[in-house]
Amino acid sequence: MKPVSGKRMCSILEQHGWVLDRTRGSHHVYQHAGIPFSIPVPVHGNRDLKPGTQSQIMRQAGLTDADL
């Protein structure tokens, strides 16, 4: 799995139909039509997401390594 920053993960989610719902501090919360949960993405400048956080976001959003 290629490490990505929080900013890059946000743009990847937006390319796959996720919409920024709200921002609270450094966490951007994304929603998708028809999906009953939201996905919070920590955005701390250009720092890469931790591997566990990144894999959890990808699993929830239905993303694969090819989407990165």
1, part of any domain? no
36, part of any domain? yes
16, part of any domain? yes
Determine the structural domain holding residue 43 and report its residue range: 6-67
pLDDT in tens, 14-66: 999 999 999 999 999 999 999 999 999 999 989 999 999 999 999 999 999 99
pLDDT in tens, 3-13: 999 999 999 99
39, part of any domain? yes
pLDDT of 52: 97
Q: Indicate which CATH number applies to the domain containing 12.
A: 3.30.920.30
Sheet strands (E) in the chain: 19-24, 27-31, 39-42
Give the Cα separation of 52 and 61 in Å (integer): 14
Total domains in the chain come to 1
Give the Cα separation of 67 and 25 in Å (integer): 27
pLDDT of 1: 87
